[in-house]
Amino acid sequence: MSKIEITYTSDCFSDSAQQLSNKLERPIRTDESSPYDYLLTISESGLSLIPSADKGYGSIQCDFAGGTHAHRRRFGGGNGQSIAKAVGVSGKFLPRVLDLTAGMGGDAFVLASLGCHVTMLERNPIVHSLLADGVERAVNNAQHGFVRDGSAGDTELGDIMARMTLIEANSAAYLEQGPDHPVAPADVVYLDPMFPERKKSAKVKKEMQAFHALVGSDLDADKLLALALKVANYRVVVKRPAGANHLADRKPSYSLEGKSTRYDIYTLKKLPS
Ligand SMILES: C[S@@+](CC[C@H](N)C(=O)[O-])C[C@H]1O[C@@H](n2cnc3c(N)ncnc32)[C@H](O)[C@@H]1O
């Protein structure tokens, strides 16, 4: 198991650090000289996962208000993006999406930016903490106008975040809870399980390497497809690396192929038009 410790940059974060330490059952760092694999650091800019220098990975933080998310929100191509086509987003239909493998919420954020309501499920407690922190900061930024680059509050971001709901759970257990625990409405179920890492290439971003090292491979993903097909109203969409096998070796109705990514679409019913 990786050695992960919690640090904070100012005394005002000591309570939050203690809460995180209790929740994740990871210690607060006391010996600055002891070796570690990762630090989970709380600072003015939120929660970050920082790998030890010898790993050569980049650090990870969830930042919906800035960086690549903000850029893609503005210039990503709207409903013309492959993910939008795969999920079936159109001017006439905004599916309610159940994302069974939320990760850092990137795909969910794109879909929510396009107008979909997205329920995100994440089972890894550290990934969930990073994502929950990202959601909370984005909501705060949108509400209070506290945006790091000094710009005013962002009502559009507030609307997007209001369409995103995060649940910490194993999706398989969540879907199998039974009639007393209704599942979130799911026109489309979305799946993007971790794929066994291919040989390290420059194409794999440094932060993705850290994420992969932390989460590992989702070797139980085949089971999720069968469960997803039971709850989706219209379709199940599975994101795979280009050239990868089909999940559970089950042939999709059709696929959308990109340079590095493929979307496998399992249709159940025609989308409303
Ligand atoms: C490749 S990442 C998803 C990336 C995400 N689509 C994004 O854009 O950031 C896969 C994530 O799914 C989570 N996951 C895998 N199987 C799961 C399950 N059965 N229940 C909940 N989360 C799961 C993993 O912990 C990991 O964080």
User: Are 170 and 123 spatial neighbours (Cβ–Cβ below 8 Å)?
Assistant: yes
The domain limits of the chain are: 4-44, 67-267
Distance of CA 41 to CAs 6, 66, 92, 132, 168, Å?
Answer: 6, 19, 43, 14, 21
Predicted confidence (pLDDT) per residue in 177-232, tens digit: 877 788 888 999 999 999 876 655 554 577 777 888 888 888 899 999 999 999 99
Q: Looking at beta carbons, which pairs linking 89-92 to residues 24 or more positions away fall under 8 Å? A: 89/114, 89/115, 89/116, 90/271, 90/273, 92/272, 92/273
Nearest residue (CA) to ligand 1, atom 3: 103
pTM for the full predicted model: 0.93
Of the candidates 227, 271, 226, which has an alpha carbon nearest to the alpha carbon of residue 96?
271
CB 124: neighbour CB atoms within 10 A? 19
Nearest residue (CA) to ligand 1, atom 1: 194
The Å distance, Cα 210 to ligand 1 centre, comes to 14
Two structure tokens written together for 105: 């919420």
Percentage of the chain lying above the pLDDT 70 cut: 94
pLDDT, averaged across the chain = 90
pLDDT over threshold 80, residue 4? yes
Atom of ligand 1 nearest to the CA of 239: 6
Element (H, E) at 199: none
Atom of ligand 1 nearest to the CA of 106: 8
The Å distance, Cα 13 to ligand 1 centre, comes to 28
- According to DSSP, the residues that pair with 266 across neighbouring strands are 236
Q: Which residues line ligand 1 (CB under 6 A)?
A: 100-101, 103-107, 121-124, 127, 170-172, 192-194, 215, 218, 224
Three-class SS state of 255: strand
The Å distance, Cα 224 to ligand 1 centre, comes to 11
Atom of ligand 1 nearest to the CA of 127: 27
Predicted confidence (pLDDT) per residue in 117-137, tens digit: 999 999 999 999 999 999 999
CATH of domain 67-267: 3.40.50.150
Atom of ligand 1 nearest to the CA of 224: 19
